[in-house]
Amino acid sequence: MESVDWGFVLEQTLIQALGLNAAVYAIAAIGLNMHFGYAGLLNFGQAGFVAMGAYGMGIAVNQWGYPVWVAVLMGMLFSVGFAVLLGLPTLRLRADYLAIVTIAAAEIVRLVARSTALRDITRGAEGLNEFIGPFREFNPFNPSATYGIWFVQYRGNTFFAVVIGWTLAALFVLITYLLIRSPWGRVVKAIREDELAARALGKNAYRFKMQALIIGGVMGGFAGMVDAIGKATVQPDFFGAALTFFFWLVLILGGVGRVWAPIAGSILYWGLITFVQNTGRQLVDNGVIRTTIMDTNQIDQIRFWVVGGALALLMVYRPQGIFGSREEMALDAR
């Protein structure tokens, strides 16, 4: 008896590594790279930005019946508003304060979104489920057909979101590249290195940090919008604190402060997680691992151990990520 169906595991791994989740994580991590990799901002609340994008867009269609383009604009506006709200009190303070406030703020967003108090707007714990129609009208792919290469196949509706996702990811990498090689990017990197020096040279550090926070946050918002379009739903509990930590791992895996690293990191991350999970499940299902030791639910929890362990170990032993070189990275700045 075959204990693991490797063909199936490989198929699943590739589908996930190139799929919707990977694209969404890549986009969010590109935003995080702008925050942490270039501007040195410790944003531990990227999930909040993602939620803002998803809810902004979802509410506009689901609750208020606005057209798609207004909805996307609203997703962006929500993210911008969140960035400004977070940045105002914290960007003049030491970096750790931003870390604490962002993680708290992201949690606030989730709690408020799922509260009954705002149920008329956010639909509480059930989330937004009736907004996908107008978006699907733009779908050029046949929903009942599958698309892809080789055995990496996606259904038409998913494929639509996957295409949007990777296109946006590529666009955001390009924008990051253009920004970072410009004088603006020079100032932002200088602030990351030493804020006082930048200020002594006449740079309004506060303004630049705010701009970087907004740009990365809007990218995060787009991650939420793509996710919502791909899954046809916005669920408040998707935006928990753990989501932010996954983005961090994606960023660190790829290499902090490298333009295209979030894409590589995301593909790697989803490939790895799917591989471990599917192999584990099969080992349990086929009786190689006895259920007294571990059941399939518990296999899914192992994912968090892998993420946590990888995060800690990479940070200590290979802070430049898998692909980075040690020289230009923001991490040992302190």
Partner 1 sequence: MEMPGRPRTAMLFVAAILFFLLPTVAAFAQDSENVATRITVEDETGERVPVEGVAITVTDDQGNEVGAGATDAEGVFMLEVPEAGTYQLLLDDTTLPEGVSLTNSDRNPATVILREGQTGATIFALTSGDAVAAGGGVTLRQIAQLTVEGIKFGLFIAMAAIGLSLIFGTTGLVNFAHGELIGWGMLMAYFFNFYGLAGVFGWMASWPPPFGGGVNVIFAAVIAMVLGGALGWLLDAVIFSKLRARGVGLISQMVVTIGLSLILRYFFLFGFGGSPRFYQDYTAQSAIHIGIIDITPKDLVISGLSVLILIGVGLFLIMTRWGKAMRAVSDNRDLAESSGIDVQKVIRYVWVMGAGLAALGGVFDSLAETVRWDLGFRILLLVFAGVVLGGLGTAFGALVGSVIVGIGIQLSTVWLPTELKNVGALALLALVLIVRPQGLLGRRERVG
Partner 2 sequence: MHADRSAVLAGVAAEPGVPKPDPILVADSLQRSFGGIRAVDVDHLEVQRGIITGLIGPNGAGKTTFFNLLTGFDQPDNGKKSFNGDSIDGKSPHALARQGMVRTFQLTKSLTKLSVIDNMKLGARHQSGESLWRSMLRPLWGSEEKAIEQRADELLVRFKLDHMREEYAGTLSGGQRKLLEMARALMSEPDLIMLDEPMAGVNPALTQSLLEHVKDLAGQGISVVFVEHDMDVVRDISDWVVVMAEGAVIAEGPHDSITANSDVIDAYLGTHHDAPLDVEVDLDWKEADG
Helix, strand, coil percentages (3-state) for the chain, rounded to 5, are 70, 5, 25
Lookup: tokens for 330 = 């923001």
At its nearest, how many Å lie between partner 2 and the CB of residue 198?
7
The residue range among 11-19, 24-32, 49-57, 103-111 that interacts with partner 1, by the rule CB under 8 A, is: 103-111
From its phi and psi, is residue 153 left (phi > 0), alpha (psi between -120 and 50) or beta? beta
For partner 2, the binding residue among 141, 184, 275, 323 (CB under 8 A) is 184
Instruction: Show contacts with partner 2 in window 208-267 (CB under 8 A).
Output: 211, 215
Instruction: Show contacts with partner 1 in window 117-136 (CB under 8 A).
Output: 117, 124-125
Q: Is the CB of 88 or the CB of 178 nearer to partner 1?
A: 88
Residue 200 lies near partner 1 (rule: CB under 8 A)? no
Contact 25, 167 (CB under 8 A): no
Contact 284, 291 (CB under 8 A): yes
Residue 197 lies near partner 1 (rule: CB under 8 A)? no
Q: Is the CB of 73 or the CB of 310 nearer to partner 1?
A: 310
For partner 1, the binding residue among 22, 28, 61, 105 (CB under 8 A) is 105
The residue range among 44-52, 64-72, 121-129, 185-193 that interacts with partner 2, by the rule CB under 8 A, is: 185-193
- Measured between alpha carbons, how far is 46 from 68 in angstroms, rounded to an integer? 24
Q: Is the CB of 76 or the CB of 109 nearer to partner 2?
A: 76
Residue 241 lies near partner 1 (rule: CB under 8 A)? yes
154: which DSSP letter? E
Residue 228 binding partner per list partner 1, partner 2, none, with a CB distance cut-off of 5 to 8 Å that depends on partner kind: none
Residue 208 lies near partner 1 (rule: CB under 8 A)? no
Question: Contacts by 110-119 with C-beta closer than 8 Å and gap 24+?
Answer: 110/47, 110/48, 110/51, 110/236, 110/237, 110/239, 110/240, 113/51, 113/55, 113/236, 113/239, 114/236, 114/237
Contact 164, 68 (CB under 8 A): no
CA 320 to chain CA centroid, Å, is: 19
Q: Is the CB of 122 or the CB of 158 nearer to partner 1?
A: 122
Instruction: Show contacts with partner 2 in window 58-117 (CB under 8 A).
Output: 94
From its phi and psi, is residue 181 left (phi > 0), alpha (psi between -120 and 50) or beta? alpha
Which residues here bind partner 2, judged by CB under 8 A? 94, 175, 178-179, 182-187, 189-190, 193-194, 196-205, 211, 215, 327-330, 333-334
